[in-house]
Amino acid sequence: MTILVIFYYAITMSIVGIDLAIRVTPDLGVGNTPLLALPGLTSFSTSVRIYAKAEWFNPGGSIKDRPALRMIQRGLETGRLTSGRTILDATSGNTGIAYAWIGARLGYRVLLTVSSAIHPEREKILRESGAELILTDPMAGSDGAILKAREIYALDPHEYFYPDQYNNPENWRAHYDTTGPEILAQTGNSVTHFIAGLGTGGTFRGTGSRLRAEIPSVRLVAVQPDSPLHGIEGLKHMESSIVPGVFDPFLADENMSVRTEDAQAMVARIGIEDDLRIGVSGAANLVAAARVARREQREGRHATIVTVIPDDGRMTAGAGANGETQ
Ligand SMILES: Cc1ncc(COP(=O)(O)O)c(C=O)c1O
């Protein structure tokens, strides 16, 4: 009887928890971003097309609204985020903005650990978004910020909800459930290639695995900077980085390296040709997409190449030399 009562109580609580989570966290306008056609990049061909998800249309201005919202929703559903707790994570970039505005909307305090090497303009944007910041040793880089977040959490786990974007599977599941299906719908299931850069690896893993589940022949191309010291903000050079738990090293059919200068040239080109302001990581994706397009054209194949433009570069301007701005 006692067991039955406990079981009933657990079910009731979890149903109530889910119900509450759904009620307090609708999609908040996150996702359903436009898919842009970029015909200028494939003017040499009539059979190859490049499209890009314009992720700056998210309310917080970047693709990171998707995983941040999902991790918070899951925190509510599982009871790890309860009222009065503070959302805590290590981030100096788009995820920080996402936590800040979603936290403010839902009534949660947000505390971010950030390397004090942060560009003053980005620090200002984060503070204005409502986040509190703890600045960490600049010599310890983003790893120092991660260690600080872990330390704060370990000292008082009941005070904080620590999503840990690098290792939280809800990060990539957000893309599996939103970015992937949106691309399928927007292309009428005709996508032949998906290309994305690796930061935490969440976008590539979640979107790529969803597209593969629906279209087994789709080619998945992962993009990385060509060297450890690079300026492609938001992306990681995996070989020389702490590899995030979210990253799946076996998913890509192909890995492509992009030079910072080529990505920056693409920012300028898209600015002039399409009158669009895009961030350098989105530009790196477009450099890789243009390469794939030329190859497919040479081989005489039809291709619908889809990539993402994670942001418009506002948050990542002035990032450090290793581009770590997750
Ligand atoms: C500007 C920018 N581009 C790309 C990425 C990479 O996305 P993901 O972490 O899903 O790999 C990020 C992640 O923060 C980013 O901020």
In order of start, what are the domains of the chain with their CATH numbers?
31-63+171-309 (3.40.50.1100), 65-161 (3.40.50.1100)
Residue of the CA atom closest to atom 14 of ligand 1 = 326
* Closest residue by Cα to residue 33 from 19, 12, 51, 7: 51
Residue of the CA atom closest to atom 15 of ligand 1 = 234
- What does the longest C-alpha to C-alpha distance in the chain come to? 73
Note the pLDDT of residue 141: 73
Residue from 66, 70, 119, 200 to probe ligand 1 pocket by mutation (most atoms less than 8 Å from CB): 200
Residue of higher predicted confidence among 170 and 26: 170
Mean pLDDT, rounded, for 57-71: 97
pLDDT-derived band at 143 (thresholds 50, 70, 90) equals confident
Is the pLDDT reported for residue 21 higher than 80? no
What b/e string do you get for 247-283 counting C-beta neighbours within 10 Å, with b at 16 or more?
bbeeebeeebebbbebbbebbebbeeeeebebbbbbb
CB count, 10 Å around CB of 105? 16
Mean pLDDT, rounded, for 317-321: 50
Mean pLDDT, rounded, for 142-151: 88
Mean pLDDT, rounded, for 71-97: 94
Mean pLDDT, rounded, for 107-118: 92
The response to whether residue 142 sits with its C-beta less than 6 Å from ligand 1 reads no
Ligand 1: nearest atom to the Cα of 279: 1
Note the pLDDT of residue 2: 38
Note the pLDDT of residue 326: 64
The response to whether residue 325 sits with its C-beta less than 6 Å from ligand 1 reads yes
Note the pLDDT of residue 263: 98
Note the pLDDT of residue 115: 85
Ligand 1: nearest atom to the Cα of 165: 9
Is the pLDDT reported for residue 29 higher than 70? yes
> What CA–CA distance (Å, rounded) separates 129 from 295?
43
Ligand 1: nearest atom to the Cα of 94: 16
Note the pLDDT of residue 240: 84
Task: List the catalytic residues.
Answer: 64, 281
> What CA–CA distance (Å, rounded) separates 203 from 183?
13
Note the pLDDT of residue 161: 98
Is the pLDDT reported for residue 14 higher than 50? no
Pairing of strands 48-54, 303-309: parallel
Contacts of 44 (CB under 8 A, 6+ apart): 294, 297
Note the pLDDT of residue 138: 84
Lowest mean pLDDT among 4-18, 46-60, 205-219: 4-18
CA 302 to ligand 1 centroid distance, Å? 29
Lowest mean pLDDT among 237-241, 248-252, 306-310: 237-241
Is the pLDDT reported for residue 69 higher than 80? yes
CA 95 to ligand 1 centroid distance, Å? 9
The response to whether residue 311 sits with its C-beta less than 6 Å from ligand 1 reads yes
Q: What is the DSSP letter of 11?
A: H
